[in-house]
Every structure is written in C-alpha cells, then in structure tokens.
Amino acid sequence: GQQLNQSPQSMFIQEGEDVSMNCTSSSIFNTWLWYKQDPGEGPVLLIALYKAGELTSNGRLTAQFGITRKDSFLNISASIPSDVGIYFCAGTSGSRLTFGEGTQLTVNP
Amino acid sequence: ETGVTQTPRHLVMGMTNKKSLKCEQHLGHNAMYWYKQSAKKPLELMFVYNFKEQTENNSVPSRFSPECPNSSHLFLHLHTLQPEDSALYLCASSPVTTSNTGELFFGEGSRLTVL
C-alpha cells in the first residue's frame, strides 16, 4: 500500500527556534495535510494543501505541497512551549487517506 | 472542542470482557470513522461509515464490531480482545467521504488497555 515517510521522528528544540519537518512518498498524492496532536487529545487539522506548488501559512506555520506531488514540508517559526506535540502529515490519493508516523516535537523553555 | 465527543476516555478490560466505545458528533457530518493509534505507528483506519452505511472495513478482526445507528453516533463493540489491541481508538467525522479531501475532525480518543 501507499506509505508516507515522515522525518524527523523526533525533535528537541529551544523556545524561539524555527522547526522544519517533511514527508515524502514514492506515490503521487492529490492533497497534503498536516495535523497536530496535543498530549492526551486527538489530532487537529493545521493546514490543508490542494495544488502542487501551493504554499500556505497559518500563523507561525507554513506548509508547501511539493511540485512533484510526492512530498510536503511544514515549517514552524519562533517556536513556543505550546507547540509541543506530535505532528502528522497525511495525503489523499483517490478515496484513500494515508498518515505518516508523526514527528514528536519537544520545546524547551 | 472539535465537535466530536468520545466516551469513555479511558477503559481497562480483561480479555473475556465485553465493552463498547461511543462517539457522537455535533457537526452535521455524514461520514464517521474509527482509527486505531499505536505508539510510533501511523494511524490505522478501521471502519468507515457514510450516511449510516459501512463503506469500508479495513480487514479488522471480528472481535471489533462497529455500529452506526445514525449519522451522529458511532459505536465500537469490543469482545474477547487481546493485549495487543491496547491502543488509543480515535473517532473522526467529515462532511462526506466521497470527495475525501482528507479533512477529518477527530475526537479526543478512548485509551484502551487490555489485561
């Protein structure tokens, strides 16, 4: 089946630093999405991307839909302690939604 | 508050018990999903319901039995589970499945521990 390779698996950063994570696949996706899961909660949609090359921001978050349609990245600028959590990429191909394994982000004050 | 409520939040059961997980969505959506989340693994889709009809069963063992009485409620009935079934079970909803933009609204999850 389709697989998304998400990296890094975990990150430990200092408050104020910028963060970058990405997702790659050998398959083409029609939509790329980024979700965040706070500890003890369910995932929440952060950004959805619908067109190859699309660059979208949501506050301090910026995500891009790769030109090849096989990758996406998420950047977080000027991290704060509440950014801690697990970030999941996801992609749709036809009716199938596939999730990455997640990036665990820890922000030290 | 995502509009999707799951109960119970935590459940501990023995392998011979029968229990149920409940999900309710207040978003007017027509599609509901059960996902299994295990540590360091991608979310695993279990079941999909669209307009109360099951449209997908992702090769889930029969010890998991879903029920969708209406578009707002979804249950997962559990019986004779195994310890490896311990995980976070997430319910999600979306307006419909057919367009599948991937935009899901998740509940907070039910943390299941099987002893």
B34, B101, B105, B110: best mutation site toward chain A, by most A Cβ within 10 Å? B101
Please give the residue that has the higher pLDDT: either A13 or A1. A13
Say yes or no: B5 contacts chain A, CB-CB below 8 A.
no
A69, A72, A97, A98: best mutation site toward chain B, by most B Cβ within 10 Å? A97
Query: What is the structure's pLDDT at B10?
Result: 97
DSSP single-letter state for residue A59: T
The answer to whether the peptide bond before residue A43 is cis (omega within 30 degrees of 0) is no
Please give the residue that has the higher pLDDT: either A44 or A2. A44
Question: Whole-angstrom Cα distance, residue A104 to residue B72?
Answer: 32
Say yes or no: B10 contacts chain A, CB-CB below 8 A.
no
Query: What is the structure's pLDDT at A96?
Result: 85
pLDDT of A93 > 70? The answer is yes
Range B91-105 burial, b when 16+ CB lie within 10 A, else e: bbbbeebeebbbbbb
B66-73: long-range pairs with CB below 8 Å, 24+: B66/B34, B68/B32, B71/B29, B71/B30, B71/B32, B72/B24, B72/B25, B72/B26, B73/B22, B73/B23, B73/B24
pLDDT of A11 > 90? The answer is yes
Chain B residues whose beta carbon lies within 8 Å of the beta carbon of residue A33? 102-103
Say if residues B85 and A23 touch (Cβ distance below 8 Å): no
Question: Whole-angstrom Cα distance, residue A44 to residue A30?
Answer: 20
Say yes or no: A55 contacts chain B, CB-CB below 8 A.
no
Query: What is the structure's pLDDT at A23?
Result: 97
Query: Is B102 in contact with A90 (Cβ distance < 8 A)?
Result: yes
The residue of chain B nearest to residue A31, with distances taken between CA atoms, is B101
Please give the residue that has the higher pLDDT: either A78 or B54. A78
Nearest Cα neighbor of A90 from B49, B103, B40 is: B103
Query: What is the structure's pLDDT at A101?
Result: 94
CA dihedral A106, B1, B6, B12 (to 10 degrees): 40
Which pairing describes strands B10-13 and B110-114: parallel, antiparallel, or unpaired?
A: parallel
Say yes or no: B2 contacts chain A, CB-CB below 8 A.
yes
What stretches in chain B show pLDDT beneath 70?
98-99
